[in-house]
Amino acid sequence: MSEDARLREAICRLARSLFQRGLTGGASGNISARLPNGDILATPTGSSFGDLDPARLSRIDSQGRLRDGDNPTKEMPLHSAFYATRQPTGAVVHLHSTHSVALSMLPDVDPDNVLPPLTPYAVMRLGKVKLLPVYLPGDPAMGEAVRGLAGRRSAVLLANHGPVVAGKTLDAAVHAMEELEETAKLALLTRGLSPRLLSDAQVADIVERFGVEWE
């Protein structure tokens, strides 16, 4: 199987898994992944993660031109911003997952680091998660906001919209996205209960030991 075919199958398989577990519904969410030659495979606009066709995924060249497949997600500028500013990026996942969206709406979250340090894996896989403002779906300003971070974050949370995570591989991006949603769920479940957070020293140890970006 060619790398193109393998990656197409993987995108559809992982998207279906996310859909079946209720992490994104209807025709929401989008995934992209980079091929060795620099082309990007992306889920088409208006498509459901539950029934993607590998042959109809959008293939976009390094100049942003559609080479084949259906028209890509309207959030492509958001994906492109991560590829342009974070060179290790091999895939980008964007969901409308319930707990992350709910957390993004609360007035007292830290916009520089939305997730409280509840578990080591959230720190390891995500680093700090930046809260970005509300944008209309497809607004190119979302991509500009990510470019403005100059590659300093691998994960952002769009207010009232949903999380976006970049990873070195497709699996890594999906796993980090799952960690983000589960940590958001934990944050909501423990809200107002004074949970024991990781200490600053524990976070610093994780950051140093696992080479986490923490700016």
From the list 3, 9, 83, 121, the catalytic residue is 121
* pLDDT tens track for 23-33: 999 999 999 99
* Known catalytic membership, residue 135: no
Q: What is the Cα 93 distance to its own chain's centre?
A: 4
* pLDDT tens track for 118-168: 999 999 999 999 999 999 988 999 999 999 999 999 999 999 999 999 999
Please state, in angstroms and rounded to a whole number, the distance separating the CA atoms of residues 94 and 180.
11
- Maximum CA extent, the chain: 52
Q: Could you tell me which residues are beta bridge partners of residue 63?
A: none
Whole-model pTM over 0.75: yes
Please state, in angstroms and rounded to a whole number, the distance separating the CA atoms of residues 104 and 115.
10
From the list 75, 179, 181, 182, the catalytic residue is 75
* pLDDT tens track for 76-121: 999 999 999 998 999 999 999 999 999 999 999 999 999 999 999 9
Rounded to the nearest integer, the mean pLDDT of the chain is: 96
Domain made up of 3-210: CATH architecture? 3-Layer(aba) Sandwich (3.40)
Nearest CA among 29, 33, 116, 127 for reference residue 73? 29
* Known catalytic membership, residue 121: yes
Query: DSSP string of 34-68?
Result: E-TTS-EEEPBTT--GGG--GGGSEEE-TTS-EEE
Residues 170, 95, 73: CA angle, nearest 5 degrees? 80
| Residue ranges per structural domain of the chain | 3-210
Nearest CA among 22, 157, 28, 14 for reference residue 91? 14
